[in-house]
Structure 1
């Protein structure tokens, strides 16, 4: 399905697509790259960038804003959560800002969702906060990026709970078991808990994927937890990508031990700094990470309509 929705501004059009062809995907990625160089951060999440390629994905729509025939803005809408409102991310090319394109994309997203919408503002810039206000959105969620130095690595040798062993992920062999544990560990988390085999395959195909930094905790032959690390090679930054523990295995120190194992691995890879993301309304996790030397680096904000 393709619909062209011209908005009342000279030379501006917004095209809504269920999938992007390769040329469109590359054009959007180029726009995102220019915006990231200007802003110092990505305007669209890793999941959103992965969803640019590979054809149609259920619940995902793409909004291409052109000005005088030139791609000037992009928004992605994902409507896959059975409870929450559809979630969106949007960006305007740095050379085309100040002309109302962000507001136009926001209006198109509101129209497409019947004014039931959540929007991410990565980095929480003043411009993003102003746009949210103009669109009538209220602050809903705060995601913090924490960082700590890995030099020196003042983390003691991790102590695993009795009967627990740790090994690294084997692609193909461990996929189904990991997806099951991830789903159970993040049943409360709409983005992480809903990952599918296709989502896992997308990440395994990325250049950063390295199974030797993907740690699995087992007890009695069954998977009970994991720590998946990620290396941002260009930034020389290691990431605590995701740590998960089955609900009935929580409370025994496994999460902390797995975090320490991953951090020690990232330090051994020669990375000077580690980062992670955690929700501001998760004080227990914040306390654990702060005790491990992490401090807030920046925040991502999510806004939503009241209806």
Structure 2
């Protein structure tokens, strides 16, 4: 197995990586990397930053590639370096092609990630710090669990995927007085959404950092539908909260993001927005809906459980 590091991928190599990720998802039933990795693999820097735009050459991303003796792509790891300077943390996600499992590709990638984080391959018994390197295991894959145990990586964070059927009749979305729900207006509502999102998710390591540019990138995705981006506003059209829904290619709906301004919390708006989004997805023909929630966000988990969501599977972030 030959391993190489990249700060950017050309279009051919990015296409290889995308194909590997798709085949891995088909084999495992769960995507091996998060949405932000896919967006970065699609991204190009503009001509202000480089003469010839190279795909996947964007700030905050590094790539590890593993090939077999015949040159076939066997494994891939993405490293998010956005928090390296401020928090000293690297966050990685990796995938090994189903045909190349149990042949050392995963171990090579993990060892490369440990080296990139200046961590020894063999953990110290006294080392309890899990903040330097975090590696996601989406769907708590058995192979990832074996690698975590081998290299002394411990559970540092859990993200639950919860879901429910949309076959049953849904309750009405009861709104607080003087509050209405309308659709997102592209090119108009971005600043207000980013402001409320930042206030609602100031504690969240990924969601709270969303910028207007990040939002506009997602507006260009095929799945984006402003009609399914529901905004709760007061009589002066001030944004109080939002429910951004998403429909996956297989027809599964998603509670993509529900955010409520902290000054508005306590009046049931979050639940009302969630129900409104569920009704929208049901009307669009979705038979089931899913969402992601931090496992330790007890209040949010209880809200979703009362809305008949059940835990489907778990994404685990292992750390050292």
TM class by smaller structure: over 0.9
Cα distance in 2 for partners of 1:158, 1:215 equals: 12
Cα distance in 1 for partners of 2:280, 2:301 equals: 22
Q: Which residue in the other structure is 2:47 paired with?
A: none
SS at the partner of 1:163?
coil
Q: Which residue in the other structure is 1:124 paired with?
A: 140
Moved more, 250-259 or 60-69: 60-69
SS at the partner of 2:174?
coil
Compute the displacement of 1:197 (Å). 2.8
Q: Which residue in the other structure is 1:41 paired with?
A: 30
Correspondence 1:89 to 2:93: yes
Alignment of 1:26-105 (within 5 A): 26-55=15-44, 56-68=57-69, 69-81=71-83, 82-83=86-87, 85-105=89-109
Contact 1:144 1:277 in 2 (8 A): yes
Name segments (4+ residues, structure 1) moved above 6 Å: none
Q: Which residue in the other structure is 1:276 paired with?
A: 291
Q: Which residue in the other structure is 2:129 paired with?
A: none
Cα distance in 1 for partners of 2:271, 2:81 equals: 34
Cα distance in 1 for partners of 2:261, 2:5 equals: 40
SS at the partner of 2:42?
coil
| From 6, 9, 25, the counterpart of 1:20 | 9
Structure 2 residue ranges without an equivalent (≥5) = 45-56, 120-131
SS at the partner of 1:131?
helix
Residues 136-195 of structure 1: per-residue CA shift (max 9 Å, x gap): 110011111111111113x32111112222111111111122112111111100111111
Cα distance in 1 for partners of 2:88, 2:146 equals: 23
**CA gap 1:197/1:14 in 2 versus in 1, 3 angstroms:** farther
| From 252, 255, 260, the counterpart of 1:240 | 255
TM-score by length of 1: 0.92
Contact 1:20 1:53 in 2 (8 A): no
Alignment of 1:277-292 (within 5 A): 277-292=292-307
| From 251, 258, 266, the counterpart of 2:266 | 251
Structure 1 residue ranges without an equivalent (≥5) = 1-11
Q: Which residue in the other structure is 1:212 paired with?
A: 227
Correspondence 1:110 to 2:110: no
Compute the displacement of 1:84 (Å). 6.3
TM-score by length of 2: 0.88
How many residues get paired? 292
Cα distance in 2 for partners of 1:242, 1:140 equals: 23
Residues 178-225 of structure 1: per-residue CA shift (max 9 Å, x gap): 112111111100111111233222211111111100001112321121
Residues 34-79 of structure 1: per-residue CA shift (max 9 Å, x gap): 1111111110111111111223322211111111221111000102
